[in-house]
Structure 1
Amino acid sequence: MLPEGRRASGILLHPTCLPGPFGLGDLGREAWRFVDFLAGAEQTLWQILPLGPTGYGHSPYSALSAFAGNPLLVSLERLAEEGDLDVEDLAGIGREEGRADFDFVEPYKARLLSKAARRFQAAASARRKADFEVFCEKHANWLEDFALFCALRRQFEGRSWQQWPEPLRYRQAEALAQARRDLSDSLHYFRYMQFVFFDQWLALRNYANQQGIRILGDLPIFIAFDSVDVWARPDLFHLDAQRQPTVVAGVPPDYFSATGQRWGNPLYRWERHRQEQFAWWQTRLDWNLAQCDLLRIDHFRGFVECWAIPAGDPTAVNGHWWPGPGEDLFSALRHRHPHLPLVAEDLGVITPEVEHLRDALGLPGMKILQFAFDSGPDNPYLPHNLTSRCVIYTGTHDNDTTLGWWRQLEGNLRDEVLGYLGRNDADMPWDLIRLAWASVARVAICPLQDVLPLGTEGRMNHPGQPDGNWGWRLRPGELTANSQRRLAQLTRRYGRAPKKLQTVRDAADSRDR
């Protein structure tokens, strides 16, 4: 459920966007400082993108595993505090702030994590070694396949599993057993990486909870073809005898693209999932909710029907709609989570069947203010058309920043925004933040870039553009006391401050009067 059934607000920021000298945001001291910023701004939610280990293009939505964490987010400073590294190991690594330098971070972090894994194995305390053994045993159902998958990728110089020797590609038992014997050191390294990632992430999540901040995570509906999930469980996906996809996911041609979008993810064989009472999904949801308090579930429409594209087609034109699992899946998930703590990503062209499933499950949908002004007073994203059961955003990671969006608006559309605001001039992005915070939506969220405020230079992602995404980072000093104070004032004014803080502030305001 949404926090305490009350009005709340929060900030969208992925951990890779945090500042720091090591080329990429991580789970170290800047992440903890950001929690303090949120608490001081009287926010309730920190929304993040998926935390999985990224593959091609470093997209959080194209991960090598639906269960593992991204080792690029591991804080080396915290490993030095634990004794797995020396402080001297971190000297001279400093990189230019403001951009995520994935190409630099990957090799140097792999080198230092390898050193840390060896030292851990040789010299870690008995307590930490016991914690490691408990972690490995508890998560063996996904960890062992993931560690072997990564070890084999390293052995075959990063080639996807479809290009491995046939005995390994088809997971023949003898070949897998031999690989585990040959790659034992590498297996330890990848187990260790997951151990320290989740040790750091869960400590950060617990600290956020102690400060009154809940984590809103992100659960992609589809899985990358080049992932351990497809390699380990090919029977759960539509693959042919050679374990190549027969159909892939995407969206049909529309106003934005004459050929649609071909995402390339293999589609689920839902009848197989039903036979297993959706056990894979049960495990996936359990583990994600152990990491986060709430989850945004991506491409919610795909659970009703998804666009199935013949795998050999270069575009989405020849696709057709395939039915999804519908309420069957969510009925199974409710056995362990009766009140599904999910937000449905229901953007785009949504059918009555999708709305029915969302409402039958009692899930809030998403409303984006940047989409609200182009079709008159009946636009479903306009605040006067909302109900409380939704999450309103100024924009998302897929949009331009609000300031960048505003600067590109022209003519009638700009006049429409100003008319709705009741102003002759705009104070962007704060006017849109105020509109979101003042709305009846139970939860309001904006990207941190809107609080700073930044223009298009702060944009995170361009959907459909394969390169140049996910690179924006916060610079040191950009989070100011003034922006924190302004956000806190707006949050109190529209009744979104945490209850205890709201009561304290109201009492103080009464004394001031």
Structure 2
Amino acid sequence: MTTRKSGILLHITSLPGQEGVGTLGKEAYAFVDFLEESGQKLWQILPLGPVGAGNSPYQCYSAFAGNPVLIDLELLLDEDLLSADDLETIPAFKKSKVEFDKVSAWKSSLLKKAFQHFQEKKFDHFRDEYYHFLNEHGWWLNDYALFISVRNHFGGLHWNEWDRGIKFREPEAVYDLSEKLEPQIAYEKFVQFMFFRQWHRLKRYANEKGIQIVGDVPLYVSGDSSDVWTNTDIFLLDDELNPIEVGGVPPDYFSETGQLWGNPVFDWQRLKERDYDWWMARLHFNLNMFNLVRIDHFRGLESFWSVSAEEETAINGKWVPAHGYEMLSLIKSQIGVLPFIAEDLGIITTEVDHLRERFNLPGMKVLQFAFATDATNRDLPHNYERNYVVYSGTHDNNTTLGWLNAVEGDEKELVAKYVSEEHAAKQIMEMALASVADTAILPMQDVLELDEKSRMNTPGTATGNWDWRFQWKQLKVGQKKFLKETTEKYNR
């Protein structure tokens, strides 16, 4: 029986629909149907958490909570938590881009209305399911709901700027604010209840159709998050809970100063003393959420680039060993085979390769990186081994058509040896599907043959990212036919 499979990379926010942003509603179900019809077996998404400034799904207020804007309001209408009148005057949102602030303001007002109906007339209908949710998720939900409520109470300030008592989670301050903010905390719990209810229904539908969901776990968490506030001891923080060291990557071919991400780095010795409990909870949680999990910046589990929090660039950092081997050994002892994908892009050492191979995790290959040198390039398909996931591009790349339009010099000459100018983007996708790699993933932008205007993210830029959306009318009959036939042609 073949293990070869393929799928599409598309974040939930990029789905079409009337609510200004992709949701967990009917368009998500329609996308699952499209995947099934075109012979795909995987749907890869980005992290689902509540995003902070910049709207990056890799900088969330929680490693566990769901993003409220993804909740589908029509499904709340079906549950009698909203009325038809509530959805009669949907603002005139753009169809090709997410206007995050505008969408969030509109949706939050209706979610508050739904919460009011939930409390006043529908609570009994949800009672058992709701209490089960609170019991199952209380270990992270209680802290998160308090965190968001207190953050709003202090006008959106970073938790490190809150009053000293609550900043340090002194019991009296926690109790007082929990009492004072009880209505807001209850609202936040309701929102999470609805998010997870809708998510697990969608996942179940996808799985019944033979589609597995590939989730994404960033190595680091945002400094301004419930996770850091409630687990200050597992991060390298000073006596005032400011980061001592922050994460990033050193200078390389793409950046003379490296990338300074600013996320607090883990205290791996303290994690070891806690038997990696936070990481175990996080991995088990994500394996319940998704069928497969991509670990972003996997190399940081072997060693990580640690930079003083006072530095302005990532130049003056140092490599510090992590305890990834021990941590992965522990999760393996609990669940057996590890359904993880190791994001091993960039400058990877022999030690990182050994860590990935030790746990038999597939690494990643990206065809847009394949033509920068010569025929020995490790991202060219003839140099692959089977245990890889090959991408035409990722959420951090240009679209394949955009990249082809911009490529020049020696790189362009090498591209020309493999693909002709006409329909070059399709040929790149076919290279991925034809490769020996067990898994091939194509971004939806490439399936639609879109140019650089449809790029999802440009690393190193703070604005103008993450907002791309597609519309069904962009999907042509010929593109669907190509995807289905090429998938079948290469036994995916």
TM-score where L is the length of structure 1: 0.94
Q: In the TM superposition, what whole-angstrom CA distance separates every residue of 1:82-109 from its partner, at most 9, and x where no partner exists?
A: 1111121112214121001101011111
Q: 2:217 aligns with which of 219, 231, 240?
A: 219
Whether 2:314 is the aligned partner of 1:322: answer no
Q: 1:443 aligns with which of 439, 444, 459?
A: 439
Q: 1:75 aligns with which of 72, 83, 87?
A: 72
Match in the other structure for 1:389: 387
Q: For 1:96-107, list aligned pairs within 5 A.
A: 96-107=94-105
Unaligned runs of 5+ residues in structure 1 are 497-513
Match in the other structure for 1:167: 165
Unaligned runs of 5+ residues in structure 2 are none
Q: In the TM superposition, what whole-angstrom CA distance separates every residue of 1:38-63 from its partner, at most 9, and x where no partner exists?
A: 11101000000001111110100001
CA distance in 2, matches of 1:410, 1:167: 57
CA distance in 1, matches of 2:2, 2:230: 40
Q: For 1:474-485, list aligned pairs within 5 A.
A: 474-485=470-481
The 4+ residue runs of structure 1 with deviation greater than 3 A are none
What secondary structure does 1:336 align onto? helix
CA distance in 2, matches of 1:413, 1:321: 31
Match in the other structure for 1:262: 260
Q: For 1:410-425, list aligned pairs within 5 A.
A: 410-421=408-419, 423=420, 425=421
What secondary structure does 1:484 align onto? helix
Q: In the TM superposition, what whole-angstrom CA distance separates every residue of 1:317-358 from its partner, at most 9, and x where no partner exists?
A: 111111111310101111222111000000000000000000
Q: Which moved more, 1:372-381 or 1:119-128?
A: 119-128
| Structure 1 contact 62–224 (Cα < 8 Å) conserved | yes
Identity %: 45
Q: 1:29 aligns with which of 22, 26, 29?
A: 26
Match in the other structure for 1:509: none
Q: 1:369 aligns with which of 367, 370, 373?
A: 367
Tell me by how many angstroms 1:65 deviates: 0.4
| Structure 2 contact 42–213 (Cα < 8 Å) conserved | yes
What amino acid maps onto 2:236 in structure 1?
H
CA distance in 1, matches of 2:136, 2:209: 28
Q: For 1:417-496, list aligned pairs within 5 A.
A: 417-421=415-419, 423=420, 425-496=421-492
CA distance in 2, matches of 1:5, 1:237: 43
CA distance in 1, matches of 2:185, 2:128: 18
Match in the other structure for 2:295: 297
What secondary structure does 2:335 align onto? coil
Paired residues, what number?
491
| Structure 2 contact 373–411 (Cα < 8 Å) conserved | no
CA distance in 2, matches of 1:123, 1:274: 48
Q: 2:400 aligns with which of 399, 402, 419?
A: 402
What secondary structure does 2:334 align onto? coil
Q: For 1:274-285, list aligned pairs within 5 A.
A: 274-285=272-283
Whether 2:222 is the aligned partner of 1:200: answer no
CA distance in 2, matches of 1:195, 1:125: 12
Tell me by how many angstroms 1:5 deviates: 6.0
Match in the other structure for 1:85: 82
CA distance in 2, matches of 1:198, 1:310: 38
Tell me by how many angstroms 1:125 deviates: 5.2
Q: Which moved more, 1:392-401 or 1:114-123?
A: 114-123
Tell me by how many angstroms 1:408 deviates: 1.0
What amino acid maps onto 1:198 in structure 2?
F
CA distance in 2, matches of 1:13, 1:121: 35
Tell me by how many angstroms 1:255 deviates: 2.1
Match in the other structure for 2:136: 138
Match in the other structure for 1:511: none
